[in-house]
Each structure stands twice: as C-alpha cells, then as structure tokens.
Amino acid sequence: MSTKEIRIRPAGWENAPAEERFALSDMDHTMPKIYVQIVEIFRLTQSVDKAEIVDSMAKGLEFTLNQFPILAGGLKMDAENGRLWVTKKKDGEASLFVQDLEETFPSFDELDRTDFPAATFKGHLVLPKAVTEKQLFSPLGDNQKDDLIVSTFQINFIKGGLVLGIAIHHNCSDGPGFLTTWARNSKAVINGLPSK
C-alpha cells in the first residue's frame, strides 16, 4: 500500500495577501469541533489513466481552494474564550494524498454486490491520517500547538474504482457545496476549459 502526498495551493496564490484572517460566525461556533468525514465511491473503467485522474483532481482542487480560501488555512482557537478563526497565509495549502489499495481493499464490483457496506470504509484506511489519529480541540486542553488543518483529501484507487476520502473541519464548512465546485472544476480541467 503506497501513499504519496501532493501539497495543493490555491490557484493564483502568488497574488494573495501575505495573510488573511477569517473570523467564524456565531453559527459556525455551534457546530461540533470535529471533521466532517465524507467518502465518495466511483467506478473506473480498466482503460483509465490514474495519473490523469490525479492530475485533473489536483488542478481542480487548486481552482476550488481559490474559491474557498478558508479551506487552505489553519484553524486557531482563543484558549480564554473558545472563539475560533482561520488564518490563511499566502502560501497556505491543503494535502491531497494518493493511495493504492488495489491489493488490499475490496474491488468496486465486490462493494457493489454487497451494497457498499459502510463498515468496510474505515476512516484509517480511506481518510488522511491527520484526521483519524487524534481528536481535535481536546476537552482536556491538550490541543496541538500548531494551527489545525481545515481540510485534507485522499484519493484511494481500488480495483475497478476510486474511493475519495474528504475531511473538512465542521466549524468551517460542511462540504457539499465545496464538493460540487471541486467536481465542476476538475471536469473543466479534463475538458481544457478555463475554470470560472
């Protein structure tokens, strides 16, 4: 099982301000301090070029992070009052992991025959380790010193398919609008169209 990490900066990052601060709203603060973890499963034909898929998804993610800059930032919390904000630095980025699970994970056809059982998609297998190893903003106060990542992504290739693992911090976004935009941008990359 090989895994590689691609660091993705928003398209046009060179022209971004040195640092941006995004204050989270009162409504954002009502959300649980966890990652929304989403798994999407896609069938792939045998003739598909995996490198082309990764390239189009990575480039699509660049455009999407430009449209959702908060997701390339780091989440911070004021220890005294619990208020959250995101700081996005000019060179802020998100990780896109690519993992080959063809030899160790059920095939798309096997999953399809068994109605894609949720228990098969264990987080530690299909999601980036950064969101499955430690709970965030611990009630015990042992929070990590660095900014918390806001989003992270993982492409998992399985026989006959692709499992996309997504984790976005719930205080910043719930994901569906972002996913729709990422899909649209990735398709535009494949079709050679400029992203809007």
Q: Kindly list the structural domains of the chain, giving each domain's residue range(s) and its CATH number in brackets, ordered by start.
A: 3-190 (3.30.559.10)
| pLDDT attached to residue 2 | 77
Q: Which of 100, 149, 148 is nearest to 125 (CA)?
A: 100
- How much is the mean pLDDT over the chain? 89
| Contact assessment for residue 173 and residue 181, using Cβ atoms and an 8 Å cutoff | no
| Beta partners for residue 169, in sequence order | 35
The stretches of 93-195 forming alpha helices (DSSP H) are: 108-113, 123-126, 176-190
| Contact assessment for residue 175 and residue 38, using Cβ atoms and an 8 Å cutoff | yes
Rounded Cα gap, residues 94 and 74, in angstroms: 10
Tell me the three state secondary structure of residue 67: helix
Please check the confidence at residue 195 and state whether its pLDDT lies above 70.
no
Half-sphere exposure of 118 (CA within 13 A, CB side): 2
Rounded Cα gap, residues 102 and 68, in angstroms: 32
Please check the confidence at residue 138 and state whether its pLDDT lies above 60.
no
Please give the distance of CA 122 from its chain centroid, rounded to a whole number. Answer: 16
pLDDT band, very low/low/confident/very high, at 193 (cuts 50, 70, 90): confident
Instruction: Tell me the helix, strand and coil percentages in the chain, rounded to 5.
Output: 30, 30, 40
Please check the confidence at residue 103 and state whether its pLDDT lies above 50.
yes
Work out the average pLDDT over 57-72.
95
Work out the average pLDDT over 102-119.
96
The encoded tokens of residue 84 equal 């959250």
Rounded Cα gap, residues 195 and 86, in angstroms: 25
Q: Compare 10 and 31 and report the one with higher pLDDT.
A: 10
Work out the average pLDDT over 47-52.
93
Rounded Cα gap, residues 3 and 154, in angstroms: 9
- Environment class of residue 168 by beta-carbon count within 10 Å: exposed (0-12), middle (13-18) or buried (19+)? buried
Name the DSSP letter for residue 102. Answer: T
This prediction has a pTM of: 0.89
| pLDDT attached to residue 42 | 97
Report which listed range, 49-63, 122-136, 144-158, is most confident. 49-63
Rounded Cα gap, residues 179 and 184, in angstroms: 9
